[in-house]
Structures are given as structure tokens and as C-alpha cells.
Structure 1
């Protein structure tokens, strides 16, 4: 039997790195609903990019990282697992400072100069048995070009003016809605949609006014214990069975939530080791993919009609176990960095495993453009991968960080890497095919 401290450590690592999801026929973004009033698609303005699915809308990438890829600037920073986001020719990143406060800084993308910086008391110490996994800010901010929203470790959502850093409002969820303070820090990356923000707190999923921070509804409260409260995942918005809705993965269920009322439209149990449902849901047409820690990979189809209402059917399940890395989709193929640290590709229609690679790092963030993947693993190795049905085909690799648990970001010809101790900005010097 596994040592209890080891089990808790695995549990906490997953919690910390949860953030550390397309036409149906081709498996590319199509029915993932872009948030209203978001900035240019060239911006990487939120968790996993413009559509929260890892797909980049930037120009084509170079065929070689060694020849068409260079470091422009880097800035030393305190630790963070938050992925960088971009807007208004600025890149925003977070850090925890001296284990006492949280800080957000906006850098000019071209020069690396500081446009503004703001901080607040908000750090928290995690239990001693989790110290090796860090006690710094984790959630990736979201920006609509005007407002930047940041969820801190203590489950406090702060709204800043994106251009000046001036604070507009803040919501302390444990105080405002009476939810429990997440024992190991808040992890959900907020989602801006029009005049609203959606976030999974240490208690329920909530809808908050972007104008003044008022809570408009609460849903899917969950339990009160360490094994049932809070969230490891981050929501997306998409059109499913003809209705635009919030897709939420709780500790035990995959759910569709009405955006206006917070009512649960449908709920599907997903079994996982100690409730570690971590991945961001992957929407493919009316189908939703997820893979649970120590569970199974599953594809569900959601339908709706006037007579029977909402219905969820499991189309297939297979043995591949997810962990912390959310998958990406190219054409009819799902790419997943699994719990066993191997890349696995499987067919969307059948769930058949097409290939499995050798082991890589414990965590991997992936960005897709056309038929290529940029994959950054936790060791700091960046791999340029070609879409291939038969094997993992790595076109080129580069070492870009020493400790990389934050998600990659890309905007135009710039690639942003958040090392645990720095923000690094790289430039693609050549487009694919030149």
C-alpha cells in the first residue's frame, strides 16, 4: 500500500497544476464559443488561448527552432504557475513575492520594459507535506483588452485596468459567499465572457459581474472536505446540442450550466482518484472528451430534444489515464500527455490508440497551429511536433527553461515561456516554408 504522505503529495501536485478543450468533422475549433468582446485573435488573452483549447491563430511557425527561433528578452521574477497572457502589446504575468504577497506586472512585448506593476497581500502557506510542490500563485489571468482579472491563492478575484493596473474591484469569495478557503490555494483560471466572469471557486462555480464584481449566481457547490471541495479544472464556453453553455468539470462530474441562470442542464459522473478531475473539458462538436487521474479516457455525446430533454451517452472509454495536461485536437486525432508521462494519440471516433511515445516530463503544455504542436514539458524542453497518425514525430527541440509548469503562450511571432524564476520572450524569425 502506498504511503499516505505520498498519496497526499500526488493529490496536491495535481491540485496545484490543474491549469498547471471544434468542427466535428475535422477536429478543429468550431463550436467552442469565443468569449464576447475579447481582443484580437492574435492575442493569447486567457488560459489556453483565445478559445481556451490550445489552438493558436497566429501566423505559421518556423520549421526549425534552432534556425528560426531566438530569445528577445527575459525578466527575473518570483515563482508562479500562472501562464502569461497578452493584450494591447503588453504581456501580463503573476508572481508570489517573499511568500507574503502576490504581484501582477505588465511588460511591453517589444522592449520588455515594465508598463505597470501592482501587488497585494494574498500569499498563503500550504501544509508542510505539500511544501515541495510550492505555495505560489497558480491560476492564469484573463484579459478582454480593457480589464484583467486575476484569481489569487486565497480565492480572491481582482479586476485591474489592463492599461494602467488600477484596481477596479475585488471579490473575496470565502467572505462574500461563505466558501471554504482552498486548503492548498485557488487554481481555476477565470473566464471573461461579455460583461461577466466565470470561475470555479473553493466552493461553487460562480458568475460575477465584470462591471462591479457582484456575484450573479452560484452553482455546483460540491462538498466540504479536501477530497470534494474546490476545483482542479477551468471551465470553457461552447455550443452543445444547439445551446451556448458553460462546460464545467467538478471534482466528480462533467456538467453543462445555463449561462443566464446557473442551472445545471446536464451532469455526467466522472470517476477519478480522490476527485482529481483536472483537465479542461475538450469540446468536439456535441462531444466532450476528458481523462481522469487514475481513471479512464472517455468521450461523451450530449443531445437534447423537447421530449426527452438533455441526455449524455458515453461513446467510448479506454485505459489511458489523464493527469494534469489538457489535450489538443488536430483533425480526427486527440493528443494527450498522460499520467505515465507519455504522449498518446488516439482516434476521436473510436478511441483506438494510434501510438504511444517514450516518457517525457511530468507536465506538458501544448499549443496547436495547423498541423503542428509546440509542446513544453516541465523540464523546460520545447518540442516542435508534426501531426502524424503513426508515431510521435518531433521536428526540432530547444531547451528554453529550467522549471516550466506554467502554460505556454503565443501572440503573433512571439512565444512566451514562464520559467518558475523568469518570463522569457522568444521570436519566430521565419515563417513556415520560407
Structure 2
């Protein structure tokens, strides 16, 4: 009887809870670079199989200053950054359902990147990260700022140039922060750094560089279990490495050849290996093995696919990758063989996937719906969703698709038509 009474009280409590609070628990988020698991894979209900205007409808749009960084999404809000008047960096929070501005903060933070990287502007680059309570924003001048996600109030700030006495990075802070429980990992201060996300205290620093042109990392770190050991996978301008998240020890490292250190995409784990590709070079799978309690890395295979800025999605042992020559390709990760290569599309694509569907947003404002088919390239549908350039990474959360245009943010709702 006591157990039955306890159950009855619990049932009554659940019935009395506000419906909105129950719904909020089910609302998925897109809380950091490439989503909650950092792999571009979208959880939730199956996607519709069309991009028609009757299926993918624009809910709202707001005008913004320009940015390269992607939107991140909490249960209730969507957060974006911009560079205003080439003088300041600005962060916005909007209601994800209505587009209503919730708060806005800014700080001086503009800089000019080298001429060969500035053809489209020297806008803020890194995608923020949000843990539901705080928003972590990387500013171009090598600063990391923690903001209250509800109010925008600044909680702490790290100026890596001032604190670590390192030079201002030539390309700005481009690598997106990685969330891991109570910690953050960032490539900043000509190094790789672990931070206590509550206090902003630097806990350790490793993979230190001399600074200057080759110290501005583009690639963003990930967490993965490789060769039976949990580690942070870091790709600098010149090498790939596994780092012990507890103490910062470099467990293994591997040079990644590239032109001008253009290691841009985020590495993708596959079994006990890491896939990567670099500008004007090749693609590789590097395998990590444990021998005598030490980790060693070796090249499993290479092929001539030249990646650029687009990080692939991995589906059923195949990497779907957008190339420097503007084509898509599919690579069998077990063998390193290409199974197909498509016709050209845009210069850049951000890719997200669910089951056998891939959404690809290229910089021309075109959204592609692809079928992940290792036998052939299959374009299911294509639609122009913006007349502006769309260099920022696509975000998908629940039935919403967020497109950061060069000077705006559009929210679409994607629904099945019965």
C-alpha cells in the first residue's frame, strides 16, 4: 500500500506540472559546432523527403551584421554573432519560435585577416557553444567570453593575448569551443587549452606554437574514444593529435601535409582511426593502436580527394565529403576508395545528416537534400533559401532549420505533408 500511495502522489504531481515545462524537456537543441555530438548527426523525428515551400516554410527572418559563425540553439532560444561596422563584435539571443530579440551585447573586437582570406570580409568566425545556462563566444581578437544565456550578462572573459603573452592570431579566433561537462576546450593562445567553464580558469595548456601566421588554428576539436582511450582530437595548422583530457598530455601526433597550413575541416572518428583531408593535398585515415600501454599512430590509407573547409558526415562507414573542386564524393572508410564523385556545386557546404538523408547548405544560399547512397550520387531536391551568401554552418533542431545568411538569420519549419 505505501508503494501504491507513493505512485499516486507522483502521478498527481506530474498531472499538475505545467504543460509547457513538459514540452520543454522534449525540445532538442543544437548547442555547439556541428550539433550536440559534434558529428553533424541530427537526433529526433525522421526528416521529410522534400524541400518544397509547402514543406519547408520560413517562420521568421531578422537582419543582422555579417558573420561566418553558425547559430546555436537551446530549448527556447537561438544565438548568433556578428561583426558590426568593422569595429565591434555583437551577440544576439532570439526566441526560436517567434524571432523576437531577447538580448544583445557587444564589445570592441574587429580585426583584418590576411588579404588572401579576407575576400569576403573579416567577420567573426567561430561558432559559440551553449550548455543551457551559459553561452561561450570566441571573439576574433583571441578572447573567450562567457555570457548568461538568459540575460546576456558577462560572467567572465579570457584575453589570451594578454594573459598568455601570445601574439594576436593572424586569422583571428576561428576554432569553435568544445563543451565537455564542466569544461571547455579551445584552440587559442597559440595552443590548445582546457578551461573551467564556471570560473574561466585555464586548467592546462598544450600543443604550444610560436605564434604568428601558422598558429591560428581553423579546425575545431572533438572528443572520441580511440584505441580504447577517451581523448580530445585536435587538428592544428600542421598536425593531428590525441590529447589526454585530464592532464593535457599529448598521447600521439601525426603531421598532416597541407598548403599554407590549411587544415580546416574537423577530423571525423571511424573505429580506431581518424579521417581528415586538407587543402591542395589529399585525404587520409590515420589509425591509432595501443602497444605496451602507449598509443601509436600510423597511416591506414590515403587517396587524392582534396578536402577544403567542409567537414564530412559519416554514415554506415562512408564519408560524404565536399571537395575543394566543389564536387561531393563518397569514400569507403574501410578501404579508402572513392565510390562516386558528383558534378560541381558551390565552393563550400555545411553538412548535417539523419539516417540516410543529408542536408547540405552551400555558400550560394542553396539547400540540397541528398540521399546517403554509397553506390551513386543522389540529389533528391534543391532549393534556394537565401539570396545572400551562406558561409555559416547550418543548424537543425527538431522541426526547425536555421540558416545564418551573411546579413541575416532565417528560421524555417520543416514538416511532413500527410
The question of a shared fold, defined as TM-score above 0.5 by the shorter chain, is answered with yes
* SS of corresponding position for 1:174: helix
Is 1:285 the counterpart of 2:278 in the alignment? no
- TM alignment of 1:205-354, pairs within 5 A: 205-226=192-213, 228-305=214-291, 307=292, 309-354=294-339
* Paired residues of 1:41 and 1:50 also in contact (CA < 8 A): no
State the Cα deviation string for residues 248-305 of structure 1 (Å, max 9, x = none): 0011111000111111011111111121111101011211100011111001111213
State the Cα deviation string for residues 104-141 of structure 1 (Å, max 9, x = none): 11100111101111111111233556542311101000
Q: Indicate the residue corresponding to 1:404 in structure 2.
A: 390
Structure 1 residue 68 displacement after superposition = 1.2
Q: Residues of 1 paired with 2:300 and 2:112: CA distance?
A: 43
- Give the counterpart of 2:400 among 401, 410, 414: 414
State the Cα deviation string for residues 147-177 of structure 1 (Å, max 9, x = none): 1100011010000011111110000000111
* SS of corresponding position for 1:274: coil
* Paired residues of 1:235 and 1:280 also in contact (CA < 8 A): yes
Is 1:46 the counterpart of 2:20 in the alignment? no
Is 1:72 the counterpart of 2:59 in the alignment? yes
Q: Indicate the residue corresponding to 1:173 in structure 2.
A: 160
- TM alignment of 1:62-101, pairs within 5 A: 62-66=48-52, 67-101=54-88
Is 1:185 the counterpart of 2:172 in the alignment? yes
* SS of corresponding position for 2:119: helix
Q: Indicate the residue corresponding to 1:32 in structure 2.
A: none
- Give the counterpart of 1:126 among 109, 113, 116: 113
Q: Residues of 2 paired with 1:129 and 1:282: CA distance?
A: 27
Q: Indicate the residue corresponding to 1:152 in structure 2.
A: 139
Q: Residues of 1 paired with 2:210 and 2:306: CA distance?
A: 24
Q: Which has the larger radius of gyration?
A: 2
With normalisation by structure 2, the TM-score equals: 0.91
Q: Residues of 2 paired with 1:262 and 1:140: CA distance?
A: 23
Aligned-residue Cα RMSD (Å) equals 1.5
Higher relative contact order (CA 8 A, sep 6+): 1
* Paired residues of 1:41 and 1:57 also in contact (CA < 8 A): no
Structure 1 residue 392 displacement after superposition = 1.4
With normalisation by structure 1, the TM-score equals: 0.88
Q: Residues of 1 paired with 2:223 and 2:115: CA distance?
A: 37
Q: Indicate the residue corresponding to 2:364 in structure 1.
A: 379
* Paired residues of 2:167 and 2:212 also in contact (CA < 8 A): no
State the Cα deviation string for residues 297-352 of structure 1 (Å, max 9, x = none): 001111213x2611112111000111110011111211000111100011111111
Q: Indicate the residue corresponding to 1:59 in structure 2.
A: 45
* Paired residues of 2:27 and 2:398 also in contact (CA < 8 A): no
Q: Indicate the residue corresponding to 1:26 in structure 2.
A: none
Q: Residues of 2 paired with 1:223 and 1:57: CA distance?
A: 40
Number of equivalences: 392
Q: Residues of 2 paired with 1:325 and 1:280: CA distance?
A: 8
Q: Residues of 2 paired with 1:177 and 1:115: CA distance?
A: 34
Q: Residues of 2 paired with 1:365 and 1:354: CA distance?
A: 21
Unmatched runs of 5 consecutive residues or more in structure 2: 1-24
* Paired residues of 2:28 and 2:75 also in contact (CA < 8 A): no
Q: Indicate the residue corresponding to 2:17 in structure 1.
A: none
Q: Residues of 1 paired with 2:357 and 2:224: CA distance?
A: 24
* Paired residues of 2:67 and 2:83 also in contact (CA < 8 A): yes
Structure 1 residue 41 displacement after superposition = 8.2
Moved over 3 A (4+): 126-131
* SS of corresponding position for 1:259: coil
* Paired residues of 2:92 and 2:103 also in contact (CA < 8 A): yes
Q: Residues of 2 paired with 1:125 and 1:332: CA distance?
A: 40
Structure 1 residue 88 displacement after superposition = 3.0
